Structure 1
Amino acid sequence: MKSARIRHNGEIFQVEVVDDLNLRLPDGTVLKEQDVEWLPPATGTMFALGLNYADHARELAFEPPKEPLIFIKAPNTFTGHNQQTWRPDNVDYMHYECELVAVIGKTAKNVKRENALEYVAGYTLCNDYAIRDYLENYYRPNLRVKNRHSTTPVGPYIIDTASVPEPNNLVLKTWVNGELRQEGTTADMIFNVPFLIEYISSFMTLNPGDMIATGTPEGLSDVIPGDEVVVEIEGIGKLRNFIVSEKEFFAN
């Protein structure tokens, strides 16, 4: 089952996603992908991993971490499928990051790794754009790198765990204007989903709707206004968004 949040005719709905991203409203009406505004499918806190793929760490000239490097995303950084993301003026390098996201389904505190997937409602994707100009050290993002308004597309939907029996062995891909730029596998994560749930829940409580964004593999490149960026994870889906200039974005 796939569940999405959308806005249609000024109202927000939680809806079922059927074939080809058609959507079924609670009253049974079926809408097409392009007829709605897609919203981030979950609204909780996002715990995002830095350098969780060894090849990506080396790509940035850092040593792979020996324990998780986690930062928190502000809620206003999220945007939905088919929406716009902006590139700040006067920066040299902004890159995409295709990431698997685990969505928490029930309160999790002091969870053991072997039971961790019982606390996952499902999975979605995010594209955690980064402004490389402000990258300072191995711990990564100061706020200017990762916490800008509408620079983290999330979605299009949450697919339930029964449909993703092996989240730690999925192919990730990113296309820019139809050109394949990034390809990797979640099998190469340093810290997988069960490990991360155990780790985070050992010192704080995870709540329903919280998200764990698990990092990205190597294969990053610059994106500019006018680019269409699509991230895909095998068995989960594709998330599309469009890059515009800072001036264009804030003029809307």
Structure 2
Amino acid sequence: MKYLPSGTVYGVLLNFRGEMQALAPQMDQPPYKAAPRAPVLYVKTANTWSTHGARIIVPAGVPEVEVGATIAMVISADVTADKAQSAIKSIASFVLMNDLSVPHKSFFRPPIKFKCLDGFLGIGAQPLPADRAGDPAQFALEVRINGELRQSVKFADLVRNASQLLADVGEFMTLHPGDVLMLGCDVGRPLAKAGDRIDLNAPGFDTLSNTLVAEEVNA
């Protein structure tokens, strides 16, 4: 049986050093005029979830979508401010995710209409238990589109590693068992279009594959 989350799925922005550097000029502009001090989160609502092997519909009028390859933490116990220092013990497992979105320029308050379209989150078929996953800082992920390598992601380049990210999120909100927290997506996210097959591979994880299909429009 293919895995689907039992709680809320949270995405994280600006958690790769390359992404921070690329968007640094925007951070100095209004309305914030500074880099964020806490993790920047958004929700991938349940309507976005697609299992491994599912076909994901690209809406009419959207020529390409952005592939957001990442690995996420599945939570097994409440993560709160008073438990922040031991938050890493609250990870049950890790799972591959393809956080698709319609390309957009601003990182401020990610718009729902770009990130929460139906089916726009590919989810790995089976999470990898935390006790078998090893150090998350050693995770490496490859993105292939139609068999061609298009991106390599190294999680040693995180701004906040898995433990620090959990602790910092726990300082301002509670994560509950079954919730899922992504580690973030790096710069250089490839674009894909209807007809493309997207494969995410990481050592120890089962491959996550999804195919994009064009929305059928009635004449």
Instruction: State the TM-score bracket (shorter-chain normalisation).
Output: 0.7 to 0.9
* Separation of aligned partners in 2, 1:66 and 1:205: 18
Q: Is the contact between residue 18 and residue 186 of structure 2 (CA under 8 Å) also seen in structure 1? A: yes
Instruction: Tell me the residue number matched to 1:25.
Output: none
Instruction: Tell me the residue number matched to 1:91.
Output: 62
Residue 143 of structure 1 is aligned with which of 97, 103, 112?
112
1:201-241 per-residue CA deviation (whole Å, 9 max, x = no partner) reads 22222111100011112222221111110112233332111
Instruction: Tell me the residue number matched to 1:215.
Output: 184
Q: Is the contact between residue 84 and residue 171 of structure 2 (CA under 8 Å) also seen in structure 1? A: no
Please show how residues 100-115 of structure 1 align to structure 2 within 5 Å: 100-115=71-86
Residue 174 of structure 1 is aligned with which of 130, 143, 151?
143
Question: Which of structures 1 and 2 has the larger relative contact order (alpha carbons within 8 angstroms, sep 6+)?
Answer: 2
* Separation of aligned partners in 1, 2:97 and 2:36: 22
Mark the runs of 5 or more structure 1 residues left unpaired by the alignment.
1-5, 7-37
* Percent of aligned pairs sharing the same letter: 25
Matched, 1:200 2:169: yes
SS at match of 1:187: helix
Amino acid at match of 1:44: G
Q: TM-score, structure 2 length as denominator? A: 0.87
Matched, 1:48 2:11: yes
Amino acid at match of 1:184: V
Instruction: Tell me the residue number matched to 1:191.
Output: 160
Deviation at 1:104, TM superposition (A): 0.2
Instruction: Tell me the residue number matched to 1:73.
Output: 44
1:72-112 per-residue CA deviation (whole Å, 9 max, x = no partner) reads 12111111101111212112431111111000011222255
Structure 1 residues 114 and 84: CA distance shift in structure 2, 3 A: same
Q: Is the contact between residue 14 and residue 184 of structure 2 (CA under 8 Å) also seen in structure 1? A: yes
Q: Is the contact between residue 232 and residue 238 of structure 1 (CA under 8 Å) also seen in structure 2? A: yes
Matched, 1:129 2:92: no
SS at match of 1:207: coil
Instruction: Tell me the residue number matched to 2:204.
Output: 235
SS at match of 2:144: strand
Mark the runs of 5 or more structure 2 residues left unpaired by the alignment.
28-34
Aligned length: 210
SS at match of 1:172: strand
| Aligned CA-pair RMSD | 2.1
* Separation of aligned partners in 2, 1:237 and 1:56: 26
Q: Is the contact between residue 39 and residue 169 of structure 2 (CA under 8 Å) also seen in structure 1? A: no
SS at match of 1:247: coil
* Separation of aligned partners in 2, 1:170 and 1:96: 18
Q: TM-score, structure 1 length as denominator? A: 0.76
* Separation of aligned partners in 2, 1:145 and 1:54: 23
Q: Is the contact between residue 183 and residue 217 of structure 1 (CA under 8 Å) also seen in structure 2? A: no
Amino acid at match of 1:220: R
Q: Is the deviation greater in 86-95 or in 156-165?
A: 86-95
* Separation of aligned partners in 2, 1:69 and 1:224: 28
Residue 91 of structure 2 is aligned with which of 106, 110, 120?
120
